[in-house]
Structure 1
């Protein structure tokens, strides 16, 4: 039984003039058919070269387009030298561009530019130009052409075609305003974000490396981040946010350098330069003052808070925050911002404990850091806790000259305290479903907050950091694990271990076990926090240990450890 086939080319005779409607024919993807006795011409061999070239470019288009690595562009305004470092890129047409050596061109050398362009462009017009790296092929070497018949003459032709890359400028249809260069770059950062039409003006066999401004026939400034992007298939929301973040960080560095060279500080409004900010980015340290509760970078109607962050979590926070919308400073819409202060793990563990709020055992809320609210102008009082101001002063001094990180907070009901409302009346709400199992039930797909906490913080983990020194301590630890493993008790024990000095290690686990048995872990923690500076922890336990449920033998051991 024969099959009914719809072949790509079908039957050319049967299809007749409608062949282009039943088949997709690309003359560039035809190759020569070799057989013995065939006469080959230059056209046949060239056809195979074109075929192989097109197939390779198809593979390149599958990989995407952009900068694979290297190709760093720099500009010296005083000498006019534009320098491009070696690197690799793929063009939108799928062409692989590899630059093996540094390229340097003097944009003020009009004779050189005119000579490289066959006498054209001796004077560069005012405007904005895209700096590109493009593919070129150049005929090299000489080969003799023998006559085909007696009447023809001998001649000469190129023997080889050498592929290469060259740097060039492409004028853009964007006016260059009479404005500060930093403000122009900030405006272009917004206008060029995701502008596919502008990228369509660039040659198909070229990749953009940056943008240069020409005024009065001479280069004025270069932005090496605008227009360029890393290798990617199609620009999505995450890639556009990454472009915006990369351009913002480079421009912020230049703004701070420019201001400091002119005797100004980094305490300025973001809207002085920017109208659009990425959802996460650096900010000047001078624009934030957590000790006095002031920030000057974001508008007054923004809700700005500040909190410490582990240095090891910075990259994860950046990656997750890039999925949020950018911050539009021009529309007046209020935005929630958290300024994060990256600290080492050691510093974070020390200072974060001083900023924790007490948890609510009735609502079963876990301890959380106190987010200090910042205003454009300080509002007293700004520190809710007695030790809050001193803790932030220590954190800010410890942070040094590093730049804090701001993050746009997503709008979540849990964070904004927005409750649900009834949208329609006339029907009764269904009864809540019966809850089977409790917090310890591990059969669900979503863990409750107590289970999540206990996976990260528990008595065995605390014992690894504060190892019991004897059998009595190990027995007390075992009792705590068996009878007092609720998240609230573990959290209170953790904070007590952070506050009690190492010299009391021989009695600390027995003390935690007796306090937990007397339900006085929170009371002891409150006493530690309220302890006068001139009183030691041992003196505190000796004076009030009996009231907290500690036996006389344990109190005597505390007394023996006093210095």
Structure 2
């Protein structure tokens, strides 16, 4: 039950990956503050951050199911294919047991809300409506020096910020998830120190394209060290100069670059072992 927002506000709750919370909050900052006295209908999404493993576990249990009729397609012509109906959203008390488990494992102090639906639809996970229970909240005093958010397409909007709204480390980590605790710590440090630096992020995205998933166990540590040594452009240049892109050659290039940059013994050994497991060209 929520007792803060007015009755006509649409308040939903949905699980979200911890790695996406900062991005969702940043995207919401471009919107004006909520006016709790307004009669307009506003969509509010309460986000319950979960680790990747737990999100995968509970998101599957919360997926909306559609009862599809058994049929055989009479034609392969896509213009003749019928569209399946959209599944109905969850109602209150649906999947109650799953939600009890989610709140039991979640960190309550990390629960936040944003003023627009999160990316639940993209994962086929729907939020459930929170029961209303409104009492007039105490309004915040007006801020004299409040500056309205800049329109993303308006004059004065920084090109780097525009780029980061669409391409950033928070949005790609789902596809190149850190392998192990050291990799996760490196990813966190990389996002904290460089996640809002557009030029650095562009170099990192290029390297994510070039470095084979075979090297995911050392990926984020390598990117962090390269960013700290200001050698992302050098790493990118040497990797892209390797035309065939064979993992064995990639491993040898990374080993040499990391050694010259003063990488620790653990990282060097991991790169060496990964490279030795690949059949040379």
Question: TM-score normalised to the size of structure 2?
Answer: 0.41
**Which structure has more helix as a fraction of its residues?**
2
Q: Who wins on radius of gyration, i.e. which is larger?
A: 1
Give 1 or 2: higher strand fraction. 1
